[in-house]
C-alpha cells in the first residue's frame, strides 16, 4: 500500500506525531489537519486514499466532519476511519452512522496500526 495518501485530522500533537511517524515509516504520504474545517478543505484538495479522523476536535467535531465529507461528490467515497478515545457503548455505531467506514480505539497499538489502516484500503 506504500505511496498512498493519508489525511490525518487530529488536534493532539502527540497522537498526530505517532500516527504520522507510523504511516511515513510504512511508505505513506501524510497530510495533516488540526481541525475539522481544515480537514474538510484539505480532503477536497489532496484527494487522499483514506482519511483518519479524530472525533474530539475543536469547533467542528469528527461526526460533523464525516457528515460534511460524505456530502461532497468528489470525496464522498473515500474510506474514513475514526481514530478516537471515545470507546463507550454506542460510540463506534455513532461514528459509523456519521459516515466513517471504520473505527480504531486510542491509544493505538503501533504493532497492528498499519494493518488496521490497510484493511480499509483493500
pLDDT tens for 76-96 read 999 999 999 988 889 999 999
Parse the chain into domains and list their residue ranges. 5-89+100-118
Instruction: Please give the Cα distance from 84 to 81 (Å, whole number).
Output: 9
**What is the share, in percent, of the chain residues with pLDDT greater than 90?**
93
- Higher-confidence position of 21 and 87: 21
pTM: 0.96
Question: Is-contact 81 51, C-beta < 8 A?
Answer: yes
State the Cα–Cα distance between residues 96 and 100, nearest whole angstrom. 5
Q: What is the pLDDT of residue 1?
A: 58
pLDDT of residue 89: 87
Determine the pLDDT at residue 33: 98
CA distance 40 to 16: 17
CATH 3.40.50.2300 fits 5-89+100-118, yes or no: yes
Amino acid at each position: 500500500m506504500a505511496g498512498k495518501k493519508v489525511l490525518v485530522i487530529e488536534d493532539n500533537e502527540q497522537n498526530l506525531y505517532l500516527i504520522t511517524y507510523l504511516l511515513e515509516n510504512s511508505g505513506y504520504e501524510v497530510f495533516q489537519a488540526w481541525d475539522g474545517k481544515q480537514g474538510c478543505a484539505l480532503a477536497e484538495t489532496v484527494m487522499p486514499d483514506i482519511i483518519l479522523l479524530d472525533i474530539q476536535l475543536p469547533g467542528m467535531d469528527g461526526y460533523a466532519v464525516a457528515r460534511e465529507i460524505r456530502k461532497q461528490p468528489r470525496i464522498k467515497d473515500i474510506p474514513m476511519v475514526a481514530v478516537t478515545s471515545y470507546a463507550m457503548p454506542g460510540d463506534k455505531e455513532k461514528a459509523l452512522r456519521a459516515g466513517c467506514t471504520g473505527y480504531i480505539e486510542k491509544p493505538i497499538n503501533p504493532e497492528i496500526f498499519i494493518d488496521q489502516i490497510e484493511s480499509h484500503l483493500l
